[in-house]
Amino acid sequence: MNTEQLAVKVFSRPWFHRIDLGQGIVTPGIDDSPSKLGIVHMPVDLTGKTVLDIGAYDGFFSFEAERRGAERVLATDHYCWQVGGMGDGEGFKIAHEALNSRVEAQLIPVEEISPETVGVFDVVLFLGVLYHAPDPLRYLRVVRSVCREMMILETHLDAQDYPRPAMVFYPGATLNNDPTNFWGPNMPCVAEMLKEVGFSRFTFFPPWQAARVVVHAFV
């Protein structure tokens, strides 16, 4: 599509991710996605790696993994590709076409992800998903089952003043007026859950906000 056609498609809809599509067009996402690249510490060189992006939304991190040389990238989502408005999945499709991307896409709930349904990947991106999980340990077991080398986890935190592993439950829409926010673990809880599901070692990066943290977990 030409620049004018692309601009019409991009600016006629809401976006979550801020993606540079070229031709002078950047999607007007409410999330400053480029600034998060340093925060999540995605490997600069992914040449030859396979990458799974769980909860891809508009696909910023999927397309970035491709740009960094990944051999195969699979973007998966379910809720954010079906709810309508900003979360209807069309943003991903527009960006995919504009970037002439080879990133694959699969509409699938986290609960159905397995080696049989998606395969196994060197790197799994699990950004901003864990606290939306009704069953966090189940979600982490799913991630571990399809992770060959490392997972990059980004999550909301709570109960940071409590020394033992703990997690706060948010009934209804008590966290940010969002009924899909369920849990706020503290960092000891995140560490113990990662051990429980079979990650052998992990690196915590300093919280990038008071209640957000990034962890690299390794098989």
CA distance 192 to 197: 9
Range of the domain at 45: 38-218
Assign 139 a pLDDT band (cuts: 50, 70, 90): very high
How much is the pLDDT for 207?
A: 84
Predicted structure pTM score: 0.96
> Is the residue at 191 inside a domain?
yes
> Is the residue at 7 inside a domain?
no
> Is the residue at 5 inside a domain?
no
How much is the pLDDT for 146?
A: 98
Mean pLDDT of 45-55: 98
> Is the residue at 78 inside a domain?
yes
- Going by C-alpha positions, the residue among 115, 68, 98 that lies closest to residue 8 is 98
Mean pLDDT of 177-191: 96
How much is the pLDDT for 209?
A: 80
| CATH value at residue 153 | 3.40.50.150
> Is the residue at 131 inside a domain?
yes
CB 188 within 8 A of CB 178: no
Written as six digits, the tokens of 148 are 């060959």
DSSP readout, 41-110?
A: T--S--TT-EEEEET-TT-HHHHHHHHTT-SEEEEEESGGGTSBTTBSSHHHHHHHHHTT---EEEE--G
Q: Number of structural domains, the chain? A: 1
> Is the residue at 25 inside a domain?
no
Query: Model confidence over 65-117: pLDDT tens digits?
Result: 999 999 999 999 999 999 888 889 999 999 999 999 999 999 999 999 999 99
Assign 57 a pLDDT band (cuts: 50, 70, 90): very high
Residue 29 is given by DSSP the state B
Assign 62 a pLDDT band (cuts: 50, 70, 90): very high
Task: Quote the mean pLDDT of the chain.
Answer: 96
> Is the residue at 177 inside a domain?
yes
CA distance 66 to 205: 24
